[in-house]
């Protein structure tokens, strides 16, 4: 990543709940060159365990990259699995967003959306990397054309996966970002089974609280509240900080996503048995008190 001295740093660290660090920057420096503007995803298993992390894209030595690095969290290994020259690889980019969707016990893929390419051109394409076969695919309806609704070209946005329902490929949920100097506050979801995007809301149309437009923020999954008495489970995510037209933001938000109770699904939405449709998803935001002494960033 970038640091205060505007240098790109090559360090890799894995810190567990006890605070112990497992990987150091000296590991495979010939592979993990200093880079910034990249993304990292970490697939989890059936019990939430993680063994591997993947790093994609970014800027290396001033040059945009489209390679894929694999980090073995247990073994402390780092290796380049794909270069940007393989068939179907996305254009090199930085400032993009990525998530992992799919079954935790089987097939999983990394979805990559948008970012900035050569010459600062902002991108509106969605690509999927099959993490088993390591093959790239341009997603149908993912963007890059004028015939389907999609978030449009943007960079420095954030995304998370919503994949609580068995038999469904999951959703990529994307918030905010920047396009040509305009900061955005819209929320989109891509249905991996149906192959299409839908807008879930924005600040102008929101009936309740909604975060301000921003870019360069962080959005991460917090937990899942299991439903009882027929209620749907709720996935919760935390949004922190970012930049906007004015000063940096230091606010913290809780986003909750669930499937509307009694909603249909299945083949009608391409989601498989019991799978939710985009129209079934319900989203709410709540602003949280920031930690004492937290600096906007």
Q: Is residue 151 part of a domain?
A: yes
CATH of the domain at 54: 2.120.10.80
- Residue 81 has a pLDDT of 86
Phi, psi of 279 (to 5 degrees): -70, -15
Place of tokens 């960079």: 155
Strands in the chain per DSSP E: 35-36, 39-41, 52-60, 63-72, 77-82, 97-102, 108-116, 122-130, 135-138, 158-162, 171-179, 182-191, 196-201, 218-225, 234-242, 249-259, 281-288
Q: Is residue 127 part of a domain?
A: yes
Give me the number of domains the chain comprises.
Answer: 1
Q: Is residue 144 part of a domain?
A: yes
Q: Is residue 239 part of a domain?
A: no
Q: Is residue 296 part of a domain?
A: no
Q: Is residue 35 part of a domain?
A: yes
The pLDDT tens digits of the residues spanning 211-255 come to 999 999 999 999 888 766 567 789 999 999 999 988 899 999 999
Question: 73 is in which domain, residue-wise?
Answer: 1-155
Q: What stretches in the chain show pLDDT beneath 50?
A: 3-7, 24-28, 265-274
Place of tokens 């609704």: 149
- Residue 7 has a pLDDT of 44
- Tokens encoding 146: 């004028």
- CA-closest candidate to residue 208, choices 259, 282, 158: 282
Q: Is residue 120 part of a domain?
A: yes
Q: Is residue 44 part of a domain?
A: yes
């Amino acid at each position: 990543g970038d640091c205060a001295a505007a240098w790109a740093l090559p360090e890799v660290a894995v810190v567990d709940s006890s605070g112990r660090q497992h990987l150091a920057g000296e590991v495979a420096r010939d592979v993990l060159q200093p880079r910034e503007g990249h993304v990292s995803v970490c697939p989890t298993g059936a019990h939430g365990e993680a063994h591997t992390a993947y790093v994609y894209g970014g800027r290396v030595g001033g040059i945009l990259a489209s390679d894929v690095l694999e980090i073995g969290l247990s073994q402390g290994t780092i290796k380049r699995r794909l270069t940007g020259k393989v068939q179907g690889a996305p254009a090199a980019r930085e400032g993009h967003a990525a998530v992992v969707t799919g079954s935790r016990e089987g097939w999983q893929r990394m979805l990559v959306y948008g970012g900035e390419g050569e010459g600062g051109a902002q991108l509106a394409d969605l690509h999927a990397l099959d993490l088993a076969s390591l093959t790239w695919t341009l997603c149908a309806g993912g963007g890059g054309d004028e015939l389907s609704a999609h978030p449009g070209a943007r960079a420095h946005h954030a995304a998370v996966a919503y994949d609580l329902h068995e038999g469904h490929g999951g959703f990529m949920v994307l918030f905010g970002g920047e396009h040509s100097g305009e900061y955005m506050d819209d929320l989109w979801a891509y249905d991996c089974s149906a192959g299409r995007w839908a807008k879930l809301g924005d600040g102008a149309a929101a009936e309740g609280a909604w975060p301000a437009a921003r870019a360069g923020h962080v959005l991460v999954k917090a937990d899942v509240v299991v439903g009882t008495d027929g209620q749907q489970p709720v996935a919760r995510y935390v949004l922190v900080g970012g930049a906007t037209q004015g000063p940096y933001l230091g606010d913290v938000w809780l986003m909750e996503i669930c499937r509307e109770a009694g909603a249909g699904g299945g083949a009608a939405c391409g989601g498989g048995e019991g799978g939710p449709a985009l129209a079934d998803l319900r989203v709410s935001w709540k602003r949280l008190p920031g930690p004492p002494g937290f600096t906007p960033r």
